[in-house]
Amino acid sequence: MLDIKDFSMFENHSNFDFKGLLLKILSYWKWFLISLIIAFAIAYQVNIRKEKIYGMQTMISIKEESNPFFTSNTSLVFNWGGISDQVNGISTILKSRSHNELVVDKLQFYIDYLTQGKYNLVDSYGEVPFYLNIDKSSGQLANTLISIKFLSENVYEIRIPFENNSVSLITYSKNSYSNTSVQPVEFVKRYKVGEQVTLPFLNWKLQINDNPGFYKGNEYFVRFNDFDNTVSNYRAINVDDDDKGGSLLTLSLQGTNKARMVDYLNSTVKMLIKIQLDGKNQFANNTIRFIDSTLVAMESQLKENGNELKSFRKDKNIYEIEDGGAKFSDKIMDFDVQKDLISRKIAYYNSLKTYLNNSVDYSRLPAPSVAGIEDPNIVVNVSKLIALSTQRSEMAYAVKSDKIFKDFDNQMHAVKDVLLENIISAKSSLLYDLSMINAKIGQAETTVKRLPEEQQELLKIKRKYDLNDNIYTEFLQKRNEAEIVKASNLSDIHFIDPAKDIGGNLIGPKTSANYVLALFLGMLIPLLFVFVIFFVNNSIQNIEDISKLTQIPIIGVIGVNKDNINLAVFDKPKSALSESFRTIRSSLQFLYKKQRVSGAKTLMITSSISGEGKTFCSINIATVFALSEKKTVIIGLDLRKPRLADEFGLTNNVGVVNYLIKQKSLEEITNSTNIANLDVILSGPIPPNPSELILSEAMKELIDELKQKYDYIILDTPPVGLVSDALELAQYADVTLYIVRQNYTKKDMITLLNNRIKRGELNNASIVLNGYENKAKYGSGYGYGYGAYSNGYHEEEEEEKSFIKSIFNKWNKK
């Protein structure tokens, strides 16, 4: 049946030991110091090895610029959405893949120009004395460092360490990859500056920059990178709008090379200006292209009419002939011009209707003014349609939203429907005007038929020539108007602050932040380790741990046996360790006196498990009693695992076992030692039944016989946590010492000890804390009872000097 005392393990639940944790943290100060040194060393290396990061920026404004030459006939641009939409559109374009592809390709930023720095390769764009003119249609060695060393001002050497039988090539004109075979050796070849390099894996011409400086003997590196990856890197350009001015944009980049970023920021804005101007000039270009194609046909026709007129005038009195039909010629000419204008308008409307019904790209439509159309509905709607079509094609590379495209398609469809209705209405009016002018021309031609035949023929030839000449002149005039409009167009995008390297602009690496991070990690890592040790480690750490777990008194604290000698009291009688055993001796004498024990006194020393220092404590406690001129004997009663013989250099052939089985007498099993007044009785051969021997009557006889001969009897017993032998021997002990070892004995063992005490299995028990070392004191003492005041009373122990103490001593010597 369970005893109520068995549940005492639930009585000693303690609160969080903050003081213990703090002492534990302080005890590992060396770990913190080493961790901080390592962390700061790493931060220092990162700071000196990492390339500096710079930030460059440029500012642009977006302002709608109207063309002073625009009229109702020549207005070729329709601003669809205002400035706010332009700002959003430009921000999108600047980050788009298509736009950045144009800029990267123009600047050839897929080529790296590198030099060897102190710790790594450095981007030296703008600093190297040369540049490469590559053949974009031929393959270039991809993603491989190519060494270029100048042997003289005009001769350079190429070195490429090939490791495999094939290499990858990139062709930038197609943005495609291929492979070619090479020899797995180091390729070395010399070329002259300006000489064409034509190899299966390289195709370039190296040119020297203006003012290159001294470069003979220097080595540089180039590398051909993936085009798409390069574009992706530059798509990270940051575009911010100004809160104070909605039409202002700030473009910024971060990188290691300021010259490269300056060139890219300025080039991306210039490319944007070009694209925007091209969009503005779309109508003008369409018109000029249409007029040019028309003028080619008109020139041949006008030349043919001129030749015909010249042939007619030959061998004729042209003045008499012209005089008769002059008054009719001017009148018919006016009618022909009117008819041609109406016909061109109808032809434009027919062409426009066919184009609208059969095409989806309206960006190439010519301006209505080229056909003399001044109808504002037609002009405005054609402008809208071209603007929408151009904007949609530009956004195709930057926007992936189907909804946006559908919105554009719906707007264009609505404008197209309105335009088709306008065409029907305008054509019906023009057809009526055409019939009227044809009637007037018919009447004039009837009158002309009354003239002589030669006058009629001349009038017919001049009529064709004058009409074509008039049309030709009009088209030339319209072409000039379109050229003037194109030349006078202004971009809506303007530089406010172009990117420029004026020094500074350093944004990283943040050395102070790295050092702060090093401080944080240097403290955190060992702190986490200490936390793990504190919460995972269930062993006794200090006196407070024992006091919280039990009411059993602690009568002594024994420090660490750093000299690793078992006879510590005898070999170093003046050491602090020896003084600890003398303190225990005084406490034991007080306990014996308190219990009124007279005559011989017995002391049982036990522990929870093996390795806690029972035998070491038994020997040295017996030694301090013997040195006080008390007849003392120590008995090895750990019959299963005897160790006492080894400590005194004896053989364990004869001992307690021989006495208990009546083979030997007390005198025969007693061994003298080189310590006066101290005898030792070994355990003897290991018996098959140790527990039964200890329970035998012979054990009582042995103790009684020893009491007649000695003042102090020390029982070195086996651990109570493993076997029950010590519990059987407790009846012979006046006092029981329970050995607890720092960082070894588990806290649960103290709970089991409490249970044994409550059940009466152990009497008059006291605890000795063994192997105690208070590291938080930063010194060599044992941290209990003496401290700095022990100087002069104990022998100085040869210990390793602490790190701080050694630094302090070196400082004092200076």
Q: What are the start-end ranges of the H helices in 121-257?
A: 227-234
Q: For 398-401, which contacts have Cβ atoms below 8 Å and span 24 or more sequence positions?
A: 398/92, 398/93, 398/95, 398/96, 398/97, 398/98, 398/99, 399/92
Looking at residue 206, its pLDDT comes to: 96
The structural domains of the chain, ordered by start, are 4-50+510-536 (no CATH), 56-280 (no CATH), 285-488 (no CATH), 550-813 (3.40.50.300)
Short-list 307, 159, 262, CA closest to 495: 262
Rounded to whole angstroms, the Cα distance separating 267 from 260 reads 10
Contact present, 719 and 753 (Cβ < 8 Å): no
Rounded to whole angstroms, the Cα distance separating 645 from 652 reads 6
Short-list 15, 21, 1, 13, CA closest to 754: 13
Short-list 311, 294, 413, CA closest to 357: 413
Q: How many Cα atoms occupy the beta-carbon half-sphere of 706 within 13 Å?
A: 29
Number of helices (H) and strands (E), helices first, in the chain? 24, 25
Q: How many Cα atoms occupy the beta-carbon half-sphere of 782 within 13 Å?
A: 26
φ, ψ at 738 (rounded to 5°): -105, 115
CA 711 remoteness from chain centre: 76
In the three-class reduction of DSSP (H, G, I as helix; E, B as strand; rest coil), residue 286 is classed as helix
Contact present, 140 and 111 (Cβ < 8 Å): no
Cα distances from 414 to residues 351, 389, 577, 737, in angstroms, run 19, 13, 103, 104
**Dihedral of CA 573/578/581/582: which sign?**
positive
Two structure tokens written together for 252: 């910024």
Two structure tokens written together for 56: 């460059």
Rounded to whole angstroms, the Cα distance separating 626 from 603 reads 14
**DSSP label of 574:** T
Rounded to whole angstroms, the Cα distance separating 742 from 542 reads 7
User: Any residues with CB less than 8 A from the CB of 560 and at least 6 apart, and which?
Assistant: 771, 772, 773, 782
Q: Where are the beta strands (DSSP E) in 646-778?
A: 670-672, 678-681, 712-716, 735-741, 765-772
Angle at 582 between CA 581 and CA 588, to 5 degrees: 90
Q: Is 469 exposed, middle or buried (0-12, 13-18, 19+ CB in 10 A)?
A: middle
Contact present, 260 and 128 (Cβ < 8 Å): no
DSSP codes joined into one string, 264-285: HHHHHHHHHHHHHHHHHTHHHH
Tell me the sheet residues that pair with 206.
132
**DSSP label of 194:** T
Q: What share of the chain is helix, strand, coil (3-state, %, to 5)?
A: 50, 15, 30
Block means of pLDDT (10 residues each) for the chain, 814 residues, are: 40 54 78 92 84 87 61 42 62 87 93 91 93 94 95 95 93 93 94 94 94 92 95 90 73 91 92 80 70 70 64 53 52 70 78 76 68 75 75 58 69 81 80 77 63 57 65 71 69 82 78 87 88 77 84 89 82 86 90 86 88 89 91 89 83 88 89 91 87 86 91 89 77 90 86 84 87 57 38 46 49 48
Per-residue 3-state assignment (H helix, E strand, C coil) for 546-563? HHHHCCCCEEEEEECCCC
CA 628 remoteness from chain centre: 72
Looking at residue 1, its pLDDT comes to: 36
Looking at residue 354, its pLDDT comes to: 80
In the three-class reduction of DSSP (H, G, I as helix; E, B as strand; rest coil), residue 218 is classed as coil
For helices 318-358 and 402-448, the axis angle rounded to 10 degrees is 160
Short-list 226, 180, 223, 185, CA closest to 204: 223
Q: What are the start-end ranges of the H helices in 537-639?
A: 543-549, 568-571, 576-594, 614-627
**DSSP label of 777:** G
Cα distances from 461 to residues 190, 310, 329, 343, 674, in angstroms, run 74, 10, 11, 21, 153
CA 718 remoteness from chain centre: 60
Contact present, 740 and 775 (Cβ < 8 Å): no
Two structure tokens written together for 604: 């049982």
In the three-class reduction of DSSP (H, G, I as helix; E, B as strand; rest coil), residue 170 is classed as strand
Rounded to whole angstroms, the Cα distance separating 241 from 317 reads 78
Per-residue 3-state assignment (H helix, E strand, C coil) for 457-522? HHHHHHHHHHHHHHHHHHHHHHHHHHHHHHHHCCCCEEEEECCCCCCCCEEECCHHHHHHHHHHHH
Rounded to whole angstroms, the Cα distance separating 286 from 363 reads 9
Q: In what order do the strands lie in the sheet with 166-171?
A: 140-141, 166-171, 176-181
In the three-class reduction of DSSP (H, G, I as helix; E, B as strand; rest coil), residue 802 is classed as coil
Rounded to whole angstroms, the Cα distance separating 540 from 543 reads 8
Rounded to whole angstroms, the Cα distance separating 214 from 579 reads 80
DSSP codes joined into one string, 5-70: GGGGGGS------HHHHHHHHHHTHHHHHHHHHHHHHHHHHHHHHSPPEEEEEEEEEE-PPPPTT-
Q: How many C-beta neighbours within 10 Å does residue 99 have?
A: 24
**DSSP strand pairing (678-681 vs 632-636):** parallel
Rounded to whole angstroms, the Cα distance separating 99 from 104 reads 9
User: Any residues with CB less than 8 A from the CB of 434 and at least 6 apart, and which?
Assistant: 339, 342, 343, 346
Whether cis (ω within 30° of 0) applies to the bond prior to 509 is: yes
